[in-house]
Chain A
Amino acid sequence: MELLHSIFIGPFADMFSDLSFLIQVLWEGFVQGTLYALIALGFVLIFKASGVFNFAQGIMVVFAVLALVGLYEAGVPAWLALILTIGIMGLLAIGIERVVLRPLVNQHDAILLMATIGLARFLSGAGQFIFGGENKAMITEELGLPTGSSEAEIFGGVVFFEHLDIAAVIIAGLLVAALAVFFSKTRIGRALRAVADDHQAALSVGISLNQIWAIVWFAAGIVALVTGIMWGARSDVSFALEIIALKALAVLIIGGFTSIPGAIIAGIIVGLVEKLFEIYWGSLLGGGVEAWFAYIVALIFLLFRPQGLFGEKIIERV
């Protein structure tokens, strides 16, 4: 009886007894969720264009910020370091297309998957070799990102909004909007969607897959960089980010591997749910729930809705 009470009644009573705290928790979860959404977005871009789950996406996040901070520490001004890092991600995309993807065209999906795991190991090693393995502080202020926080009185309590979090949400929103416009309005965007739909047909109308892959990996690299900056500013720049990035797998299962809106909504859902669960139910299980809860939700989805919330509609004509 006591157990049932602490599962089904206690937490809700807690929530409504301190509404401003609840708002605080939801806000934190929401911000976390947008970052998950960004990471998942990188995966979706590549999955759509080349049909492969890119295990290296997590390390690309780390690599991008390490390059940024590394360049800054080497004495390059922050804005120039940012531009150079974008350039590095571009070169990386072209390199990956030439060295990894092009020779593996038309091989089995599993082979491409293995190649991305190899790529992840390579980037991880290269990152440590070039920039060192120790944690670095993010150059938040130098990049002109806001710090400090505002507080607002809501429901009689005080809720803190970190300026950095607000900036993260806005930047994430802008990035998603930019990508959406790019995909639906431009010639290259249309070609990207065409490739996602039917490789062969895309080839037949003269779309060069090599070019499209390089562009997609570059876009994923930019998303990785933005994610890395935001995440690094909230904690530290370290290789642990790679593990957190794998949470995108859970997000993708929930949202569907091929859907950009799915990735965003599922990312936010995961952020909110795991935060709520951690705060209000976590003590029942001894805390630390945040680390694995998303995967449980993903497992449940796999059982009942394997294509995810927004997975590609399978068009069948009768």
Chain B
Amino acid sequence: MSESEKILSVNNIEVIYDHVILVLRGISLEVPRGKIVAILGANGAGKTTTLKAISNLLRAERGDVTKGNIVFEDEEIQDSTPSALVRKGCIQVMEGRHCFEHLTVEENLMTGAYTRRDGSSKIKEHLELVYDYFPRLRERRSSLAGYTSGGEQQMCAIGRALMSRPKMILLDEPSMGLAPQLVEEIFGIVKQLNENEGVSFLLAEQNTNIALRFANYGYILESGRVVMDGEAGMLSENEDVKEFYLGVGGEGRRSFRDVKHYKRRKRWLT
């Protein structure tokens, strides 16, 4: 992949929390411009930490990138600040939505434009654009975000990030706690944003099934390492991914004893 085609590359980073806890042990990944890349894995695999390392939110939790580097738009960003990065065009939507509960939906969206300096008329225009993507938010624009439903909050969080005019959104677990229909709707909008607005996405998901349907490429993390990566189509056909992440056994039902046996024997080799 040539330099200009990739918007983000993470090169062999190591993350340590509180000076002692090693969470990421040499992660490398790349996001091509205008694509959706998924990071998959179970709880504690390091998906969120990877995203926070990129967005520089890690330092607020006493985490630190101790090795490797992160390059966004041909600039090293691992020693930057979240606000500088948002200005550069990379913003994170945190896990669990994190809307400002005591602000209205519209005020929430407007906080997303905090770093913008291109005048209020441009921002107003952009606000309408966000409402076009999320018509539900337009209906709820004046209610407090804390009183809206989980799906609306997720939309509000994504819309808020959009208000910063990002080139890239780091989307952490958008499906968390939402009904399957809503998850489908939100992923649909993500796809539209990707295609119409050219926003690149790096998304962390536990819901492997839906993530692989919408993403172009995927990385699978296990205890702080990338154990497998490939085109989304290839991953969803892979026997091991089917077995461990998609919950479909290759050869029909198996007894638990066999599963354990199989797992013990299995070693990831990439």
Residues of A near any B CB (own CB < 8 A): 105-106, 187, 190-191, 193-194, 196-208, 312-313, 315, 317
Stretch in B69-77, B104-112, B214-222 touching the partner: B104-112
Question: Do A200 and B147 contact each other (CB < 8 Å), given the known contacts A206-B82, A208-B83?
Answer: no
Residue pairs across A and B with Cβ atoms less than 8 A apart, 8 shown, are: A106-B60, A187-B110, A187-B113, A190-B107, A190-B110, A194-B111, A200-B98, A201-B100
Query: What is the size, in residues, of chain B's interface with A at 8 Å between Cβ atoms?
Result: 35
Question: Do A205 and B101 contact each other (CB < 8 Å), given the known contacts A190-B107, A315-B147?
Answer: no
A203 to B61 Cα, complex, angstroms: 12
A191 to B114 Cα, complex, angstroms: 7
A105 touches B100 (CB 8 A): no
The residues of B that contact A201 with a CB separation of less than 8 Å are 94, 98-100
In the complex formed, the residue of A with least CB distance to B88 is A206
Shortest distance in angstroms between B25's beta carbon and chain A's nearest beta carbon? 24
A194 touches B103 (CB 8 A): yes
A140 to B94 Cα, complex, angstroms: 53
B94 touches A312 (CB 8 A): no
B87 touches A206 (CB 8 A): yes
Main secondary structure of the interface of A (DSSP, over half): helix
A115 to B203 Cα, complex, angstroms: 40
Interchain CB contact (< 8 A) of A206 among B60, B115, B146, B149: B115
B83 touches A207 (CB 8 A): yes
Shortest distance in angstroms between A130's beta carbon and chain B's nearest beta carbon? 35
Question: Do A203 and B114 contact each other (CB < 8 Å), given the known contacts A315-B144, A315-B147, A317-B146?
Answer: no
The residues of B that contact A317 with a CB separation of less than 8 Å are 146-147, 149
Q: Does B209 sit within 8 A of A, measured CB to CB?
A: no
Q: Does B22 sit within 8 A of A, measured CB to CB?
A: no
Q: Does B155 sit within 8 A of A, measured CB to CB?
A: no
B111 touches A204 (CB 8 A): no
Interchain CB contact (< 8 A) of B57 among A105, A187, A200: A200
A210 to B111 Cα, complex, angstroms: 16
Q: Does B86 sit within 8 A of A, measured CB to CB?
A: yes
The residues of A that contact B45 with a CB separation of less than 8 Å are none
The residues of A that contact B83 with a CB separation of less than 8 Å are 203, 206-208
Interchain CB contact (< 8 A) of A205 among B60, B144, B164: B164
Question: Do A205 and B102 contact each other (CB < 8 Å), given the known contacts A190-B107, A315-B147?
Answer: no
Shortest distance in angstroms between B235's beta carbon and chain A's nearest beta carbon? 28
